[in-house]
Amino acid sequence: MIEAPDLSLAALAPLLFVFGAACLGVLVEAFGPRERRHAVQVTLALVGTLGGLVTSLLLAGEREVTAAGALAVDGPAVFLQATITGLGALAILLFAERSLDPARSAFVAAAAVPVGSPRDRELMTAPRVQTEVYPLATFAIGGMMLFVAANDLLIMFVALEVLSLPLYLISGLARRRRLLSQEAAVKYFLLGAFASAFFLYGLALVYGATGSIGLADIRAATTESGSDVLLVLGLALLIVGLMFKASVAPFHAWTPDVYQGAPTPVTAFMAACTKVAAFGAILRLLYVAFGTSEWTWRPLVYGIAIISMVVGAVLALTQTDLKRMLAYSSIAHAGFLLTGVIGLSPDGGGSGLAATMFYLLAYGLTTVGAFAVLTLVRDGDGEASHLSQWAGLARRSPLTAAVMALFLLALAGIPLTSGFTGKFAVFRAAIEDGAWPLVVVAVLASAVAAFFYLRVIVLMYFSEPAEDGPTVAVPGLPTTIVLAVTVTATLVLGIAPGAVLDIAEQAAIFVG
Amino acid sequence: MDTVAADGLLAWSWLLIALPLAGAAVLLLGGRRTDRWGHLLGTGTVVTAFVLGLLCTLQLADAGGRPVSVELWTFIETGSLDVPVGLLFDPLSAVFVLLITGVGALIHIYSIGYMAHDPRRRRFFAYLNLFVAAMLLLVLGDNFVVLYVGWEGVGLASYLLIAFWHERPAAATAAKKAFIMNRVGDVGLALAIFLMFAQLGTVTYDGVFGSVGALAGGTVTAIGLLLLLGACGKSGQFPLQAWLPDAMEGPTPVSALIHAATMVTAGVYLIARSAPIYDETPTARAVVLAVGAITLLIGAIVGCAQDDIKKVLAYSTVSQIGYMFLAVGLGPAGYVAGLAHLLTHGFFKAGLFLGAGSVMHAMNDAVDMRRFGGLASRMRITFVTFGLGYLALIGFPFLSGFYTKDAIIEAAFDRGDGWGYVLGGVAILAAGLTAFYMTRLMLMTFFGRPRWDEGVHPHESPSVMTAPMVLLALGSVLAGYLLVVAFPLEEWLVPVFGRPEAAEHVVAPLVVSALVTVVMLLGVASAWMFVGRREVPVTAPARVSPVVLAARRALYADTVNESLFMRPGQWLTRALVFLDNRGVDGAVNGLAAALGGSSSRLGRTQTGFVRSYALGMLGGAVVVAGALLAVTAG
């Protein structure tokens, strides 16, 4: 007879909240009256994510392993879960914005209708809206929360799939430029499946080498047996799978295409939340399972960090599309985040973990804000994301330009913005660990990166606006809330980040 | 250095920064509503800040100059990372506060007239206010991170103001050049701060200076050299000097305030402030000396062959800051001399720039001195004030420059070794060159036959412009005497640098002064011989000696930049993409262009095909697995 594992419901409350909301969302989709569905779904998704946020905040200080060792509820898990739910709620607000597009929503009403068919043209003007995105996004958020708390590799894999599958779907749901969006979805799906296969194969090899899938057991086995080829190969494949999700070069190729093709609210969601989740899993895997054999992977992560920073910063220089530019910027930021990963001492202490978590929070908030601004600048074909269309934007709409300039400065890491505090924290952590050369490269890469961020600012402020330039839409309530929150957070985390850094520092202990 | 907590007015010294900052915010956010009174608000905040700074300084003097700290809030505080935000009001920051707000206020007033017809005057004042706030933050911060914030802030303001007339391509290019070269320096400063953090765990002045002696020599030298790199970028010192003359594309009040009197001296401030670090590292200090000596010579030589009135003054600035670097590189003996020269230079160079602006105002914004001439009678006030600034700069006896420049040259000789003579000789030679190029400027602008373009009718500027010029001219005359003889700066700065030992003079001061004066007169005389006696050709003669040609081309600084940064960048590109051998164009921002080139070529890997992406991932995975195996096996 199999006994049910002991579940600590209190510790799982955030997960239950979010997954509960997602399941309810499916039921609403099936049985709810169509005309009220949108309002109900938005409310449900927000209640789920905000409920998850509140419950995870209440869990602060909790340290336990539950569900037969499959889930760890510890400082990093709770901090990152709160980050994911908070950013997720902001993204859901962007999904719910209906006053920007004349066709009301950023999502196509019926994705299966072929592009350009008579039915498609009919839909363009029909008042129907798509509401499946809300339960899908909520499921993805739940998967991400599970991902950062997974304490064994199998749960980690399940969480990876739970978060990925809804993302593949909603990437393909753009109302405008549908072919581009669908192409992005297929690419993301194919490459994501490829990466999942790497992860799964790595999992199998590690199991073969250690006889266990639990992170703590793997740690014990590696300490005992040292390293053998199976284990090392397994680790390599696991790293590849996770780095793909975190869009780290050289596993980044999907990022620009998918970021550009997906509906912008979805891009904001992916850029912020997926990054947090993937780095949460990377940190847990490397330090909980392989912390004692860190000398094997440290040089590798070191090298990957450099490649990612350089590739992201250099390639972003010549981008002419803002969404693509932000995609490359996210690749460079993944490299900066890895410098924080390096700055973590083998016992899981050190300032690297806190620094990385703070960076993830700061970067996530800024990125959601930046993409939110992108949804506002529009021309007849939807969003105007080509760089040339942003020329002289400051003259047309000084406030929008100022907000965007703030986000770009934060991404560039200019002092008094959250980006500077984050970079400062991770670089310092890496230096404490003696990773000097890495930080030199990182500082140089930031200098290069500053150039392309500032170029957009210069373009907005110092160029003549084009004759038939885009218009700046007046944001509705949801987008206004998102912008207010992200602007405030970017400034507060830049000027007085002490309190949040403190919280991150206190949360920065893995449960073994 | 023990500090006391602030009380009385000093507790409010944060208002010094907050006032101009609030001014900038109101002007930028207020939009057109503030167009009518914006310039008055901008000027008002700086004048108020000056009054406040003066009162604070008096209170500090009452308390015997004991450094005062003002804790504001804690920027970052966690177990292992601690960056407080606080201000340090000590005699050193006090003199900078007075210089920045004093000269700043005068230049704000001047700008009311100078920018009267510019449609974007409000924006101009907003940027100027932003600059003043950032510069005050730079000199008032009590740790290196706050200094860095101010450092970036003045860089931003400088960039915005150089590019103020961005519809002129030259201005946009100059701004970009200034930005890139400053970034090079900023990277040095950032690395220095990180290094302090890594080695000492603190970035406050107190903490760093207290424990720097315990560090290994190599580390201290590295910190010193990295700080110097930062200082060179900001202060236009060799090898990062090329951006400063180009920065003259900005409006003239900007050149006067930012690129002559205040911002470009931030490097000198940084090195003087970091004196305890340089005390520990003779190597880095020697490099400071070398940089100063090379720059002061380069600036003086190039200044002799320029025809653009503002460029002459710009190279003169480069050269004079070289003097200051030379002084602070001499160690305790030179700090006070360097800072005194910095202050007097602030007066006379700002005055000279305002005078140049007044001339340009009269000549329809022309800058070519070959088209000036005979302006002395048309612009009486400008001529007299400019003339006094000129005499102060060349070190005419008993004017400002005479006292402070001689002090630097004496300090150089006082080193007592062979290098002391070399440095002193270089400084004296440059003093002669300074006299030459400034006399040439005077002769070509104010004397001789008018060579004006058609339709130019020179007229004196309005009094809102001439009044600041008069005040600055007074400063040029008196500042040297006041700072060296009447109220010695040396005494005032004792709480900061300690009391230097009485120097043993290798060469008697009187002899030095006599020598410098003779060389100066020789410079004036040769300028008269070469320029004053004959007719100035309206176009620059093409057949000139190689020396003049080299000087005209700014000693090939741009060529050097090209071959140091742009060419290797191109080679890098070629190595990355071995098939491509097309050059990357873009002469000024070579580095950026090269990066852009490699970017677009690297970007070709982004084909859009899933199959090639998957292949890339597979390749990456193989490399990752191989690397891990190699590490384990090895």
SS3 A73: strand
The alpha helices in B163-281, defined as continuous H runs, are 169-200, 205-211, 217-235, 243-246, 252-256, 266-273, 275-279
Neighboring chain A residues of B612 at a CB cutoff of 8 Å: 253
- pLDDT for res B584: 33
- pLDDT for res A14: 93
Is B609 at the interface with chain A, CB within 8 A? no
Neighboring chain A residues of B74 at a CB cutoff of 8 Å: 496, 498
Chain B closest CA to A291's CA: distance in Å? 15
**Closest residue in chain A to residue B192, using alpha carbons only:** A440
- pLDDT for res B634: 63
Q: Which of B145, B154, B624, B629 to mutate to test the interface with A (most CBs of A within 10 A)?
A: B624
Instruction: Please compute the mean of the pLDDT values over residues B229-245 and round it to a whole number.
Output: 86
Is B290 at the interface with chain A, CB within 8 A? no
pLDDT at B581 over 50: no
- pLDDT for res B587: 36
**pTM of the entire structure?**
0.67
- pLDDT for res B580: 34
- pLDDT for res A246: 93
B286-343 pLDDT, tens digit per residue, is: 999 999 999 988 888 888 888 888 889 999 999 999 999 999 988 887 888 899 999 9
Percent of chain A with pLDDT over 70: 98
pLDDT at A369 over 90: yes
- Cα–Cα distance measured from residue B385 to residue B352, given in angstroms and rounded to the nearest whole number: 8
- How confident is residue A84, by pLDDT bands cut at 50, 70 and 90? very high
A210-235 pLDDT, tens digit per residue, is: 888 999 898 888 887 766 888 889 99
pLDDT at B242 over 70: yes
Which of residues 138 through 177 in chain B touch A, CB cutoff 8 A? 145, 148-149, 152, 163, 166, 172
- Cα–Cα distance measured from residue B507 to residue B411, given in angstroms and rounded to the nearest whole number: 10
The domain locations on chain B are 290-552, 555-633
Neighboring chain B residues of A454 at a CB cutoff of 8 Å: 179
Instruction: Please compute the mean of the pLDDT values over residues B58-84 and round it to a whole number.
Output: 75
C-alpha pair distances (Å), A483 with each of A19, A214, A375, A454 = 27, 41, 11, 20
Is B576 at the interface with chain A, CB within 8 A? no
- pLDDT for res A284: 92
- pLDDT for res A405: 93
Neighboring chain A residues of B615 at a CB cutoff of 8 Å: none
**Residue whose pair of structure tokens reads 């002459």 in the numeric block:** B312
* Residue B529: Cβ within 10 Å count: 10
Neighboring chain B residues of A398 at a CB cutoff of 8 Å: 31
Contact A416 B149 (CB under 8 A): yes
User: Residue A434: left if φ>0, alpha if ψ -120 to 50, beta else—which one?
Assistant: left
- How confident is residue A103, by pLDDT bands cut at 50, 70 and 90? low
- Cα–Cα distance measured from residue B397 to residue A19, given in angstroms and rounded to the nearest whole number: 85
Q: Chains A and B: how many Cβ contacts under 8 Å?
A: 152
Question: Per mean pLDDT, which range of A75-89, A222-236, A496-510, B311-325 is the poorest?
Answer: A222-236
Instruction: Please compute the mean of the pLDDT values over residues A183-204 and round it to a whole number.
Output: 93
Neighboring chain B residues of A458 at a CB cutoff of 8 Å: 163
Nearest to B629 among A232, A316, A416 (CB): A232
Contact B603 A315 (CB under 8 A): yes
A144-173 pLDDT, tens digit per residue, is: 999 999 999 999 999 999 999 999 999 999
Nearest to A232 among B81, B148, B628 (CB): B628
- Residue at A4 is within a domain: no
Nearest to A451 among B172, B592, B602 (CB): B592
The DSSP symbol for B417 reads: S
Q: Which of B33, B74, B78 to mutate to test the interface with A (most CBs of A within 10 A)?
A: B78
pLDDT at B81 over 70: no
Listed in sequence order, the residues at least 6 apart from A369 whose beta carbon sits closer than 8 Å to its beta carbon are: A403, A407, A482, A483, A486, A487, A490
Contact A414 B152 (CB under 8 A): yes
Nearest to A300 among B152, B596, B627 (CB): B627
Chain B closest CA to A22's CA: distance in Å? 32
Partners of residue A459 on adjacent β-strands: none
* Residue A125: Cβ within 10 Å count: 8
- Residue at A2 is within a domain: no
- Cα–Cα distance measured from residue A237 to residue A282, given in angstroms and rounded to the nearest whole number: 12
- pLDDT for res A376: 92
> Looking at per-residue confidence, does A417 or B570 come out higher?
A417
- Cα–Cα distance measured from residue B131 to residue B20, given in angstroms and rounded to the nearest whole number: 8
Contact A431 B76 (CB under 8 A): no
**Closest residue in chain A to residue B186, using alpha carbons only:** A447
Mean pLDDT of chain A: 89
- pLDDT for res A337: 95
pLDDT at B150 over 50: yes
A429-470 pLDDT, tens digit per residue, is: 888 888 888 998 999 899 889 888 988 988 888 788 877 778
Is B622 at the interface with chain A, CB within 8 A? no
- How confident is residue B591, by pLDDT bands cut at 50, 70 and 90? low
Question: Per mean pLDDT, which range of A20-29, B202-211, B604-613 is the poorest?
Answer: B604-613
Contact B187 A443 (CB under 8 A): yes
Question: Per mean pLDDT, which range of A263-277, A355-369, A490-504, B577-591 is the poorest?
Answer: B577-591
Would strands B4-5 and B68-77 be described as parallel, antiparallel, or unpaired? parallel
B210-225 pLDDT, tens digit per residue, is: 888 888 878 889 899 9
Total domain count for chain A?
1
> Looking at per-residue confidence, does B489 or A86 come out higher?
A86
Neighboring chain A residues of B179 at a CB cutoff of 8 Å: 454
Query: In angstroms, how far apart are the furthest CA atoms of chain A?
Result: 76
Chain B closest CA to A336's CA: distance in Å? 15
Chain B closest CA to A345's CA: distance in Å? 14
- pLDDT for res B36: 81
Contact B617 A194 (CB under 8 A): yes
B619 burial type by CB count under 10 A (0-12 exposed, 13-18 middle, 19+ buried): exposed
- Cα–Cα distance measured from residue B571 to residue B591, given in angstroms and rounded to the nearest whole number: 11
- pLDDT for res A65: 87
A106-141 pLDDT, tens digit per residue, is: 888 787 888 888 888 887 777 777 888 999 999 999
B348-372 pLDDT, tens digit per residue, is: 998 999 899 899 888 888 888 888 8
B434 touches B349 (CB < 8 A): no
Neighboring chain B residues of A187 at a CB cutoff of 8 Å: 610, 613
Neighboring chain B residues of A227 at a CB cutoff of 8 Å: 632
pLDDT at B586 over 60: no
- pLDDT for res B560: 62
C-alpha pair distances (Å), B316 with each of B235, B309, B375, B470, B547 = 13, 11, 22, 21, 18
Instruction: Please state the ipTM of this predicted complex.
Output: 0.81
pLDDT at A91 over 90: yes
- How confident is residue B578, by pLDDT bands cut at 50, 70 and 90? very low
pLDDT at B62 over 80: yes
- How confident is residue B419, by pLDDT bands cut at 50, 70 and 90? confident
Question: Per mean pLDDT, which range of A409-423, B187-201, B222-236, B386-400 is the poorest?
Answer: B187-201
Neighboring chain A residues of B180 at a CB cutoff of 8 Å: 451
Contact B621 A237 (CB under 8 A): yes
Range of the domain at A472: 9-507
Contact A240 B617 (CB under 8 A): yes
- pLDDT for res B565: 55
pLDDT at A19 over 90: yes
Instruction: Please compute the mean of the pLDDT values over residues A353-378 and round it to a whole number.
Output: 94
A247-300 pLDDT, tens digit per residue, is: 998 898 899 999 999 999 999 999 999 999 999 999 999 988 888 777 788 888
Contact B617 A195 (CB under 8 A): yes
> Looking at per-residue confidence, does A181 or A345 come out higher?
A181
Question: Rounded to an integer, what is the distance from CA A119 to the centroid of its chain?
Answer: 35
B9-44 pLDDT, tens digit per residue, is: 778 888 889 999 999 888 888 777 778 888 888 899
- Cα–Cα distance measured from residue A110 to residue B423, given in angstroms and rounded to the nearest whole number: 80
Which of residues 57 through 76 in chain B touch A, CB cutoff 8 A? 73-76
Chain B closest CA to A463's CA: distance in Å? 8
Q: Which residues of A245-272 are buried (b: 16+ CB within 10 A; e: fewer)?
A: bbbbbbbbbbbbbbbbbbbbbbbbbbbb
Nearest to A191 among B190, B614, B624 (CB): B614
**Closest residue in chain A to residue B151, using alpha carbons only:** A415
- pLDDT for res B613: 83
pLDDT at B196 over 90: no
Mean pLDDT of chain B: 83
Contact A424 B76 (CB under 8 A): yes
Which of residues 9 through 38 in chain B touch A, CB cutoff 8 A? 31
